[in-house]
Amino acid sequence: MDCSQKVRIDEALGSAYPINDLLETIQDESSVYRVSVSEIEESLGSRKRGAEIRTRLENYLKAAAGQQFVVLDFKGVGVVSSSFADEVLGKLAAGIGELQFRRTVFIDNASVTNRSLIERAIALRISEMG
């Protein structure tokens, strides 16, 4: 599946209403939209794959339409690269705004090192905007 291009799921499927099937694929037993980062771990060092993952997250957030948030679960993940943190989370925060990012994207089970890399990527990307 090519996730490098942004697409509205409801438009792609010809529906006038948002399609929540996309969200059901990441909904856990507590009805939380949770993305297991360990399942995409092989691409954690790649900026190109990071862009695809960012597009996937943008699609999840659009499908949720402000009704819910997305949890990125870093359980079992080693160290993410700074380029991945920037490409996925830094650019996502810059794209939707830091406040909206912090309201809708939650980082769970990240090591101190990964959390630090993520926060630095977000801060650097946001500072470029100002």
Structural domain includes residue 4: no
Query: Taking a C-beta distance cutoff of 8 angstroms, is the pair 21, 29 a contact?
Result: no
Q: How many domains does the chain have?
A: 1
> What is the domain extent for residue 89?
9-129
Q: What is the pTM of this model?
A: 0.75
Structural domain includes residue 72: yes
Query: Taking a C-beta distance cutoff of 8 angstroms, is the pair 126, 120 a contact?
Result: no
With a cut of 60, say whether residue 10 has pLDDT above it.
no
Structural domain includes residue 14: yes
Looking at residue 62, its amino acid is K
Structural domain includes residue 28: yes
Which of 88, 85, 84 has the alpha carbon at shortest distance from 61?
88
With a cut of 70, say whether residue 45 has pLDDT above it.
no
Structural domain includes residue 2: no
Which of 99, 117, 27, 98 has the alpha carbon at shortest distance from 63?
27
